[in-house]
Amino acid sequence: MSTPVLELRGVGKRFGQVVAVTGVDLTLDKGEFISFLGPSGSGKTTTLTMVAGLQKPTEGSILLNGQDVVPLPPYRRNIGVVFQHYALFPHMTVAANIAFPLQMRKVPRAEAGQRVEAALKLVGLPGFADRLPSQLSGGQQQRVALARALVYEPPLLLMDEPLGALDKNLRAQMQIEIARLHRDLGITVLYVTHDQEEALVMSDRIAVFNHGRIEQIGRPQALYERPATRFVAGFLGDSTFLAGRVQTLADEKAVVQTAHGVLRGHAATGLRVGGAAIVAVRPERVALLGADDAPRDNTVQGRVSDVIYLGQSRKYVVRLEDGAELLGLQPVGAAGVALSEGAEVRVGWTATDCNVLPAG
Statement to judge: residues 217 and 274 lie in one domain: no
| pLDDT > 80? residue 334 | no
What φ, ψ does residue 338 adopt, rounded to 5°? -80, 140
Statement to judge: residues 329 and 217 lie in one domain: no
Kindly report the number of other CB atoms within 10 A of residue 194's CB atom. 18
Q: What is the pLDDT of residue 183?
A: 87
User: What's the pLDDT tens digit per position in 67-84?
Assistant: 999 999 998 898 988 887
On whether residue 193 sits in a domain, the answer given is yes
More confident residue, 146 or 33: 33
Position 335 confidence tier, pLDDT thresholds 50, 70, 90: low
Q: What is the pLDDT of residue 336?
A: 64
Position 1 confidence tier, pLDDT thresholds 50, 70, 90: low
Judged by DSSP in three states, 339 sits in coil
On whether residue 232 sits in a domain, the answer given is no
Quote the number of domains for the chain: 2
Half-sphere exposure of 87 (CA within 13 A, CB side): 12
Statement to judge: residues 17 and 85 lie in one domain: yes
| DSSP output for 285-322 | G-EEE-TTSPP-SEEEEEEEEEEEE-SSEEEEEEEETT
On whether residue 1 sits in a domain, the answer given is no
Q: What DSSP character marks residue 274?
A: T
User: Residue 340: CB partners within 8 Å, gap ≥ 6?
Assistant: 304, 307
Is the Cβ–Cβ distance between 328 and 282 less than 8 Å? no
Statement to judge: residues 13 and 52 lie in one domain: yes
Among the ranges 119-123, 167-171, 247-251, which has the highest mean pLDDT value?
247-251
Statement to judge: residues 210 and 245 lie in one domain: no
Statement to judge: residues 220 and 244 lie in one domain: no
Which domain CATH number covers 10?
A: 3.40.50.300
Statement to judge: residues 249 and 309 lie in one domain: yes
User: Residue 16: CB partners within 8 Å, gap ≥ 6?
Assistant: none
Statement to judge: residues 74 and 217 lie in one domain: yes
Is the Cβ–Cβ distance between 97 and 149 less than 8 Å? no
Statement to judge: residues 266 and 217 lie in one domain: no
Q: What is the pLDDT of residue 330?
A: 87
Statement to judge: residues 212 and 274 lie in one domain: no
Q: What is the pLDDT of residue 179?
A: 87
Mean pLDDT of the chain: 92
User: What's the pLDDT tens digit per position in 273-313?
Assistant: 999 999 999 999 999 888 788 888 999 999 999 999 888 88
Statement to judge: residues 103 and 153 lie in one domain: yes
User: Residue 100: CB partners within 8 Å, gap ≥ 6?
Assistant: 89, 92, 148
Kindly report the pTM of this predicted structure.
0.89
Distance CA 194, CA 208 (A): 10
Statement to judge: residues 21 and 157 lie in one domain: yes
Residue 146, domain extent: 6-225
Distance CA 248, CA 287 (A): 25
Q: What is the pLDDT of residue 18?
A: 95
On whether residue 231 sits in a domain, the answer given is no
Q: What is the pLDDT of residue 225?
A: 96
Q: What is the pLDDT of residue 181?
A: 84
